[in-house]
Amino acid sequence: MIDIGSNSIRLVVYDDLSRAPFPRFNEKALCTLSAGLDEDGNLSDEAISAAVHAIARFHAAAKAMNVRRIDALATEATRRALNGSTLVETIRERTGLETRVLSGEEEATYTSYGVISGFFQPRGLVGDIGGGSLEVAEVVGDHVGERMTSMPLGTLPVKKLMTENVDTAKKKIDALLQQNLPPLLTDPVFYAIGGGWRALARVHIAMHGLPVNVVHGYEMPANEARALAKKIARMSPEQVADLPDVPGRRIDTLPASALVMSRVLRNLKPDRVVFSAYGLREGWLYCQLDQKEQYRDPLLEGAQAIGLPTARVPEFSKALGDWTEGLFPGEAQSERRLRLAACALTDMSWRDHPKVRAIESFLRILQFPFIGISHPERAFLAVAILARYGGKVDDAVKSATRELLSPSELRRAEILGRAMLLGHRFSASVPEILRQANLRIEADAVRLEVLNPESVPDSDATQSRLRQLADAAGVAGAEIVSGGVPAAKS
């Protein structure tokens, strides 16, 4: 994908066209096409030359990587420029690429599908701030709603407004929002997309020293997001530069992004802001999939793509998922997908040294670029895999997850992890052996019922893992049952 935006042009090469594509290469060129528009509304020769040079490099790099397909999309600056067709034609002559110039409605639509691609059944309003425009649209589960708009409230025009007077800029922004902003009629959630708004999330994460540094899926109460945005909107570039983890390329435009965020939240009054790394490019890819592929769970697809190729026995993941099916009575769909994702990741670190498997897996999952997952769900998976590798759910782990998991969620993650550890140990990671046993957590004991004890003899290691599961579940007994009769206790 080559994304020709108003402020930057970006190349992203994905490993495949799937429900959970992983970026293999990502590079951005800051060409500021919007700034290259003259008084007559034409892109300058210098702006066109800079853009074509960047795109030629991206095209050459992609071809050298044996990329099978290159899609080029252009947005606000190109569609607004009177000579946008000249840029498109020059790109064609230099590279052979056919560039599709999106309308404002198309940009809002594909951006919203990006949120649908990156989250599990999202509901709310999506806002995408770019260099030239702000697109807002409604998402309802698996489709984009009818209410959408595109407004000239990108970081570059707003920055220009702010050079005159911040209060005047507020009034002009509010007038555009009141005239065009669709009402928030679904869940009270605002999904924020765009580098400027992701920079706000990065600053907030760093200010609070949070254990998960991934912006995608980061959630803030709307009142906190607006308070931070209002503060940054009035900062000088020097003050912005002193903010923790602020991207250097966003220093000059971050106050403008913050001002738009503040005014949007003032008008919409949502309860929560959720930040998304997925937007236009991912929405375009999502719309290339058939309906069956679109309906796949992005978390499970990503977990399987990471966990199964590196597992000793890839088939064991499904067997473990079946084996733990009855572990939690009344399990909700949102809980089931986490359990199955954990089962898909259960053998991800078997090549690591035994002393570091648990903690390395924990830290990796906290930061891994999964999609379709919230930060609390990340923490749940991280604790489950830590426990699967025998790690202790100690004070350090509890401290890292305290703001993300309740005590009952933490306990549930540990129980799942200890059950997976038991399953691996009992069966030697062989699906056929695992199917010869049932696991039950009852009021007085955890019971491993072995259907054919002669073919699967007991072991001290199995009894030890059974005891660990009982401790996690908070029950006194732990026993292996053969044909309805206890065969071993610990």
Res 456 pLDDT > 80: no
The residue-averaged pLDDT of 194-221 equals 96
Contact assessment for residue 154 and residue 76, using Cβ atoms and an 8 Å cutoff:
yes
Contact assessment for residue 438 and residue 451, using Cβ atoms and an 8 Å cutoff:
yes
Is residue 182 classed exposed, middle or buried when 0-12, 13-18 and 19+ CB atoms within 10 A define those classes? middle
At residue 398, the pLDDT reads 96
Which tokens belong to 203?
Answer: 């600053």
Residue written as tokens 């966003």? Answer: 250
CA separation for the pair 314, 308 (Å, rounded): 5
Give me the helix-helix angle, 333-344 and 298-307, nearest 10°. 10
Q: Give 3-state DSSP helix, strand, coil % of the chain, rounded to 5.
A: 50, 15, 35
Residue written as tokens 């025009």? Answer: 157
Beta strands in 84-172 (DSSP E): 99-101, 123-129, 134-140, 143-151
pLDDT bin (cut points 50, 70, 90) of residue 111 is very high
Q: What percent of the chain has pLDDT over 90?
A: 87
pLDDT bin (cut points 50, 70, 90) of residue 59 is very high
Contact assessment for residue 361 and residue 389, using Cβ atoms and an 8 Å cutoff:
yes
Which tokens belong to 92?
Answer: 């064609």
Which tokens belong to 422?
Answer: 């038991």
User: What residues pair up with 74 in beta bridges, in sequence order?
Assistant: 4, 101
Which tokens belong to 482?
Answer: 């053969």
CA separation for the pair 43, 20 (Å, rounded): 36
DSSP 8-state secondary structure symbol assigned to residue 181? P
DSSP 8-state secondary structure symbol assigned to residue 450? E
At residue 451, the pLDDT reads 85
Helices (H), 298-374: 298-307, 316-323, 333-344, 357-367
CA separation for the pair 264, 257 (Å, rounded): 11
How do residues 60-96 score in pLDDT, each as one tens digit? 999 999 999 999 999 989 999 999 999 999 999 999 9
Report the run of H or E that residue 274 belongs to, with start and end: strand 272-275
Rounded to 5°, the CA angle 45-108-144 comes to 160
Which tokens belong to 78?
Answer: 């190109």
Q: Which residue has the higher pLDDT, 32 or 353?
A: 353
User: What residues pair up with 272 in beta bridges, in sequence order?
Assistant: 189, 221
CA separation for the pair 482, 485 (Å, rounded): 5
At residue 36, the pLDDT reads 74
Could you tell me which of 348, 377, 371 has the C-alpha nearest to residue 361? 348
As a whole number, the mean pLDDT across the chain is 94
Instruction: Name the pTM for this structure.
Output: 0.90
CA separation for the pair 438, 140 (Å, rounded): 40
How do residues 10-46 score in pLDDT, each as one tens digit? 999 998 899 998 999 999 998 888 887 888 899 999 9
Res 335 pLDDT > 80: yes
The residue-averaged pLDDT of 222-250 equals 96
Which tokens belong to 188?
Answer: 């009270």
At residue 38, the pLDDT reads 83
pLDDT bin (cut points 50, 70, 90) of residue 482 is confident
At residue 483, the pLDDT reads 65
At residue 389, the pLDDT reads 97
How do residues 145-177 score in pLDDT, each as one tens digit? 999 999 999 999 999 999 988 999 999 999 999
**Least confident range of 28-32, 33-37, 104-108, 451-455:** 451-455
Q: Three-state SS for 32?
A: coil
The residue-averaged pLDDT of 338-352 equals 96
At residue 489, the pLDDT reads 53
The residue-averaged pLDDT of 197-205 equals 97
Q: Three-state SS for 425?
A: helix
How do residues 382-409 score in pLDDT, each as one tens digit? 999 999 999 999 999 999 999 999 999 9
CA separation for the pair 13, 15 (Å, rounded): 7
CA separation for the pair 337, 358 (Å, rounded): 22
Report the run of H or E that residue 46 belongs to, with start and end: helix 45-64
